[in-house]
Structure 1
Amino acid sequence: MERENPFCAYLYDLSKLRHHVDRLMTTLPSNFRLFYAIKANSDETLLKTLAPVVHGFEAASLGEIEKIRAVDKEILILFGGPGKTQAEIEGAIHNRVALLHVESFHELQLVNHIAGQKGTTVSILLRVNLRHSVPNAQLKMSGVPTQFGIDEFEVPNAIALAKCLPNVKILGFHFHAMSNNGDSKAHAHFVDHCFERAKSWGKEWNIDISYVNVGGGIGINYQNIEEQFAWDDFIEDLQGVIQKHKDANWQTVFECGRYITSSCGYYAAEVLDIKQNHGKYFCLLRGGSHHLRLPAAWKQSHPFTVVPVEKWSYPFSRPEVTESVITVAGELCTPNDVLARDILVPRVRVGDILLFHYAGAYGWAISHHDFLSHPHPDHLYIESDTLIHEAILV
């Protein structure tokens, strides 16, 4: 069957996703909980796949809360975000959010006010902007001036205020501090530091801590996909942290996004043209950063492989390059529409397909889909990575 239009699609390997998350869940210490931060990818099929295997979901807006409830009426929801509206807080209460992460003194009083009007009490964690963070994380939410959380030095004042408010109940602290950290040992040290701060405040203010949320932030190595976060080493180091704090009786929460769904997703786009300008080869795709914005946003090359397509329907010669360095660009009218720069490829031809790996998080979800009004990619769901090429070449 001949394809009418150039191929462009996101592909999700649901079997790979389940296997990956099952491994994380079975290796987590018993008092740890794994939540999926749906901001990484809120695709409905992925949420339905994950709902039976994770402990819950983390949402950053009322829209995300409603997406979760459309999939599962009972699953636990954590609700965070630096700027919550009254409607969002009301919606969180209506949708029975388990924990609301409070980010400021104003928000603390607003939550208490709304809860009082509704005759209820809201369980909260205070989000802390630590003065300490993980130095090599790609993005930092704490340890530097940012809009997130309550300055560590102001946390005692926030605790004092919370304890005076009748319609909020402080159950612990939220320490989400970074994004895309690849250092497992540094991540374990970060958890240890969070425990130290939580224990100190709990003792000083006589708080019966139920939860310490250490956030997500576990990263993906897009530059060398063979060397990823050392999860087993992390769990081993975590056992030492647990032993050190064996007197703590709280549940520890991870709210991972990228690390959960990235590896199960692929973005595939057909090569439309190959040209040379100013001594450099450019490989132009049916697709681009309006579908996969991450490489342009982070100014990095996204890993890909070439899927050869042998069929060629035209009566003229097929453009190709061999053993050449190429830059992969999309179809948008901007020089910023680049997915990979200066990559050596053995061979690529017009009509071949480039398959981008680790595209299951912060890909389609963060991209400017309708810029220039090009068609959207297809979204395909498979149950084995052996079917990836088959799905592309149909």
Structure 2
Amino acid sequence: MSGADLATALVAEHFEVAGGELVIGGVPVSELARRFGTPFFAYDAGVMRRSYRALHEALDGFAAIHYSVKANPAVPVIGLFLSEGAGVEIASIGEYRRARAAGAAPEQILFAGPGKRRAELEEAVAGGIGEIHVESFEELERLEAIGTALGRTIAVALRINPVAAAQGGAMRMGGKPSPFGFDEEDLGEVLAALGGCPQLRLAGLHLFAGTQVLDAGVLLAQWEHGLKLAREVARQVGQPLATLDLGGGLGIPYFQGDRSLDLGALAAGIPALARSVPPGTRVVVEPGRFLAGPAGVYVMAVNASKRSRGQSFVVTDGGMHHHLAASGNLGQVIKRDYPIIAPTRLGGPAGPPVSVVGPLCTPLDTLGRTVTLPPLGVDELVAVLQSGAYGPTASPGGFLSHPAAAELLVEDGVASPLPR
């Protein structure tokens, strides 16, 4: 599938088109640009809801869903997933505060992260938290001291860095030296240390083997490994675990050759996994990108179209300072293009390939290297799809002091600016 084919497929799968124009949450993209200016991120609430419901159906009878706030921490976005029935997973006290502001009850929140500071842990424990996922011996000691000082028993899960056989995905989180969690082979030592912490109660395990997984078989194998480990730990401690957090990692297609995660294939493997869940254990998955990513569109206006030594460039008013991931500078080794469209010229004749670049004084500010678009004039629109996750908050917004991009949540014809 070419980049253009992927973009066409994504538009058809997730959005409406009227008169050759992209419609986001019931509002034509040109109207959003007129009302709010460019650049902006628009998040289609309906797409988010459909993504959640499709995954919920695929996992029915097996796992609950906790939205991973890091993907898009806007309070209304968190609130949207809470309204659908999700819990939340956080990785900082700032995300904890956002989750509570969105209406999350303390017991709905899971707190992971390899470097939690004492003040963060104190605030979360004092305010109430479902579980804290412990990732180091120092964190065990910190939490034990906090529990003693506050007179509380704290529910903890042990984050495990799984063995190599369980890894997978575009960014592998396990099976190698890692700052995340305890190595699986050291689990006995960790359980012994936890046994010496009377203020801490072992509630569960957390495994996260990889991210951006597009193969249902890889996910099912990782989850099967997690279930096996949960049964073994339950045997060692003499009681079932209350929770097993299997992590996130569900991917979305960004690049030429990517295929969407097959939820049908995932659902087909769920009954066998569900039968092996230990009695009394609640299984959790914590996707973020999968739920929020497809709903987002980053919209820019053309500032200039030019040629240099045989190469054509479209220069826009947006760039990597708003959307670092789309520039390829957030983890890509070989930079590839996100799906890019001319959102008011859909279905129109394409011109020769162009590079789409932003306004920053650096060659790193390139959002598309070989993009097929109609010939575009000044003030016409260019849009990057799959932009609902890891957008503004994962980008160097202060670089060169350009204005921030607006963020909009759009649903049923109403566009609501998100608070900064």
TM-score for the superposition, normalised by structure 2: 0.84
What fraction of aligned residue pairs are identical, expressed as a percent? 27
Q: Equivalent residues in 2 for 1:352-363 (5 A)? A: 352-363=380-391
Distance 2:270 2:153 in 1: 34
Q: Equivalent residues in 2 for 1:113-192 (5 A)? A: 113-132=145-164, 136-192=168-224
Query: How many residue pairs are counted as aligned between the two chains?
Result: 376
Distance 1:178 1:33 in 2: 19
State the secondary structure of the residue aligned to 1:108. Answer: helix
Give 2:302's aligned residue.
271
Give 1:318's aligned residue.
none
2:356 and 2:367 in contact (8 A); partners too: yes
**Alignment of 1:111 onto 2:146:** no
Aligned counterpart for 1:235 among listed residues 254, 257, 267: 267
Shift of 1:6: 6.1
Give 1:54's aligned residue.
85
Shift of 1:5: 9.3
Give 2:53's aligned residue.
22
**Which runs of no fewer than 5 residues in structure 1 stay unpaired?**
310-320
CA deviations over 1:102-152 (Å, ceiling 9, x no partner): 001111121111111110010010000112255551112211212110011
Give 1:375's aligned residue.
403
Give 2:42's aligned residue.
11
Aligned counterpart for 1:327 among listed residues 349, 355, 366: 355
**Alignment of 1:256 onto 2:287:** yes
1:358 to 1:31, Cα distance in 2 relative to 1, 3 A:
same
1:163 and 1:170 in contact (8 A); partners too: no
Give 1:348's aligned residue.
376
1:322 to 1:209, Cα distance in 2 relative to 1, 3 A:
closer
1:286 alignment partner AA: D
Distance 2:160 2:167 in 1: 17
Aligned counterpart for 2:240 among listed residues 208, 212, 215: 208
Shift of 1:31: 4.3
Shift of 1:3: 5.3
Distance 2:167 2:134 in 1: 25
- Aligned-residue RMSD, C-alpha: 2.4
State the secondary structure of the residue aligned to 1:324. Answer: coil
**Alignment of 1:222 onto 2:250:** no
Distance 2:221 2:263 in 1: 14
Larger mean Cα displacement after TM superposition, 202-211 or 250-259: 202-211
**Alignment of 1:32 onto 2:63:** yes
Distance 2:314 2:168 in 1: 32
1:31 and 1:250 in contact (8 A); partners too: no
2:259 alignment partner AA: E
Shift of 1:38: 0.3
Give 1:312's aligned residue.
none
TM-score for the superposition, normalised by structure 1: 0.89
State the secondary structure of the residue aligned to 1:345. Answer: coil
Give 1:316's aligned residue.
none
2:59 and 2:270 in contact (8 A); partners too: no
1:272 to 1:387, Cα distance in 2 relative to 1, 3 A:
farther
**Alignment of 1:364 onto 2:392:** yes
Shift of 1:220: 1.1
1:200 alignment partner AA: E
Distance 1:5 1:206 in 2: 59
Shift of 1:68: 1.0
1:102 and 1:124 in contact (8 A); partners too: yes
Shift of 1:347: 3.1
Distance 1:115 1:4 in 2: 51
Larger mean Cα displacement after TM superposition, 173-182 or 129-138: 129-138
State the secondary structure of the residue aligned to 1:347. Answer: coil
Give 1:289's aligned residue.
320
1:246 to 1:162, Cα distance in 2 relative to 1, 3 A:
closer
Give 2:337's aligned residue.
301
Shift of 1:254: 0.4
1:67 to 1:264, Cα distance in 2 relative to 1, 3 A:
same
Distance 1:246 1:42 in 2: 31
Aligned counterpart for 1:41 among listed residues 62, 69, 72: 72
**Which runs of no fewer than 5 residues in structure 2 stay unpaired?**
1-30
Distance 1:237 1:65 in 2: 33
Give 1:85's aligned residue.
117
Distance 2:229 2:376 in 1: 54
Shift of 1:205: 3.1
Distance 1:44 1:225 in 2: 34
